[in-house]
Amino acid sequence: MASRPWTLADIPDEVRAGGSLFEPENAVVGGNNQISSCPDSFGTAPLTQANSGNQIYRGDRLGYPSFVWPDTISNRFMTASVGPLVWMMFVAQWKTGTEAVFSNNSGLAVGSTGNPSRVFGSSGTPNLWGNVASSWAQQASINARPYTAKVLPLPMSMVEVRNASPFPSPMRLGYAGSSATAWNGPMWLVLGLCIEPTEDLLARIQGYVAWQFGLQADLPPDHAYRDAPPMVVDALPIDAIGSAVLSAQAGGRAAVSLGARGGSRLRFGAGGRSKTGIGARAALSVGIKPVGNAGVSLVAGGGAKARSLAGGMAGMGIAARARAMAQLLSSGFALVTGAPQPPRRGATTVQSKTRTRGPDGILRTRGPNGRTFTRKT
């Protein structure tokens, strides 16, 4: 297992399907830095604008590649045949970011067919246009805050809008649907999904985008990713009839090993002194079954956190066990290689000694030198 930063590419396929992601660094730029097209990072359909008089610009604002509209009235926009979007996020700024009201109707986006289809700022107010008959979204969430009609002043921010009714395609980005209603200022990212994200996924998207553009301090104080960006643990695939092996070692002595072959054992050993009274490095066994009929035993010794995590793995599904293993490994284990050596049936392995109780009640202990000691109890 290994952890890495979570990205928008980690949005599940079924949620990403039909959605769109437009990133200005990918734009096709001609003379005067005007954009003729921009590919969709999700592969649905590109943004295009063949008419140079309506093309927006490619710039670098606040240190990030950006789509740029003039800070004056214009008819500049780009068009894309998007999927049936029900949720959208724009990383955008209105003019300089300090203006208190919209000086003109200024569009984030408008659908080319049908109503409601418009998302734009209402002239003379700090609010989104509120006409329910024509406005696809009358409220927005700014930087993961509660939805509200008031969106200005708008320095660089995450702007989320949503509607259970799909946004009518094709979409005109940065336009309100009539003459001289283009957006004023930069946009750094445009993301749309055909399925509204779950609470957990939404938090990850917000966290990733906030950290990408330095907006993490603007997230709510209790946001899951205000203090650190989202991460993901890539789990090792486990095949019950394969022979994949995962081993880990803690403190240079105790080992964690996983064998995926049928009938193999998942063994956790931990160095340090035992409190069970059966030896300085005694172990706790918990039986679990990961897949099919693969017999698995879990041995966890050492600290209480390791024992708790290991014990909690019993009865878990594969995904849940993978998460639990990730927590266990992150609490002090480091990944190494090596194949496990499962104990014999009926035997308890305590480091290099093997103890077996026979039908006569005699406890026999075989040491690493092959000598056997017996004790009747």
- H or E segment at 20? strand 20-22
Q: Are residues 290 and 308 in the same domain?
A: yes
Q: Are residues 337 and 350 in the same domain?
A: no
Collapsing DSSP to helix, strand or coil, 152 comes out as coil
Give a yes or no: residue 237 inside a domain. no
pTM metric for this prediction? 0.65
Instruction: Give residue 317's pLDDT.
Output: 54
Q: Are residues 141 and 197 in the same domain?
A: yes
| Segment 167-220, tens digit of pLDDT | 999 999 999 888 889 999 999 999 999 999 999 999 999 999 999 999 999 999
Give a yes or no: residue 178 inside a domain. yes
Name the band, by pLDDT with cuts 50, 70 and 90, for residue 291.
Answer: very low
Q: Are residues 297 and 359 in the same domain?
A: no
Instruction: Give residue 112's pLDDT.
Output: 77
Q: Are residues 73 and 164 in the same domain?
A: yes
DSSP state of 344: P
d(CA 104, CA 73): 8
Instruction: Give residue 176's pLDDT.
Output: 87
Instruction: Give residue 265's pLDDT.
Output: 36
Query: In DSSP terms, which residues pair with 120 in a beta bridge?
Result: 107
For residues 204 and 211, the answer to whether their CB atoms sit within 8 Å is no
Give a yes or no: residue 6 inside a domain. yes
Instruction: Give residue 368's pLDDT.
Output: 57
Instruction: Give residue 117's pLDDT.
Output: 92
pLDDT of residue 44 exceeding 80, the answer is yes
- The residue from 205, 231, 257 where one domain ends is 231
pLDDT of residue 333 exceeding 60, the answer is no
Structural domain count, the chain: 3
DSSP state of 376: E
Angle of CA points 356, 361, 364, to nearest 5°: 30
The mean per-residue pLDDT over the stretch 279-283 comes to 31
137 Cα distance to chain centroid: 26
Q: Are residues 187 and 251 in the same domain?
A: no
User: Which residues, at least 6 apart from 344, have a Cβ–Cβ distance to it below 8 Å?
Assistant: 354, 356
Instruction: Give residue 69's pLDDT.
Output: 96
Instruction: Give residue 234's pLDDT.
Output: 78
Owner of token pair 């830095």: 33
- The residue from 199, 231, 263 where one domain ends is 231
Q: Are residues 156 and 298 in the same domain?
A: no
d(CA 90, CA 190): 5
Q: Are residues 141 and 15 in the same domain?
A: yes
Q: Is the dihedral of CA 309, 310, 316, 322 positive or negative?
A: positive
Give a yes or no: residue 61 inside a domain. yes
Q: Look at 40-44, 78-82, 96-100, 239-243 and tell me which has the smallest mean pLDDT.
A: 239-243
Name the band, by pLDDT with cuts 50, 70 and 90, for residue 366.
Answer: low
Q: Are residues 89 and 218 in the same domain?
A: yes
Tokens of 101: 């009201």
pLDDT of residue 47 exceeding 50, the answer is yes
In 3D space, the residue among 192, 206, 187, 218 whose CA is nearest the CA of residue 106 turns out to be 187
pLDDT of residue 310 exceeding 60, the answer is no
Instruction: Give residue 71's pLDDT.
Output: 86
- The residue from 171, 200, 231 where one domain ends is 231
For residues 194 and 133, the answer to whether their CB atoms sit within 8 Å is no
Give a yes or no: residue 238 inside a domain. no
| Segment 123-171, tens digit of pLDDT | 999 999 999 999 999 999 999 999 999 999 999 999 999 999 999 999 9
195 Cα distance to chain centroid: 16
In 3D space, the residue among 151, 117, 122, 123 whose CA is nearest the CA of residue 137 turns out to be 117
Instruction: Give residue 180's pLDDT.
Output: 87
Q: Are residues 121 and 77 in the same domain?
A: yes
In 3D space, the residue among 130, 136, 164, 124 whose CA is nearest the CA of residue 148 turns out to be 130
Give a yes or no: residue 239 inside a domain. no
| Segment 174-183, tens digit of pLDDT | 998 888 899 9
Instruction: Give residue 246's pLDDT.
Output: 38
User: Which residues, at least 6 apart from 241, have a Cβ–Cβ distance to it below 8 Å?
Assistant: 261, 262, 292
Q: Are residues 283 and 350 in the same domain?
A: no
- 346 or 53: whose pLDDT is higher? 53
d(CA 243, CA 262): 9
Give a yes or no: residue 325 inside a domain. yes
Instruction: Give residue 223's pLDDT.
Output: 98
Q: Which amino acid is at 149?
A: A
Question: What is the DSSP code string of 311-329?
Answer: HHTTT--HHHHHHHHHHHH
Q: Are residues 333 and 348 in the same domain?
A: no
DSSP state of 228: S
For the chain, give the number of residues: 377
Residue 126 is part of which domain span?
2-231
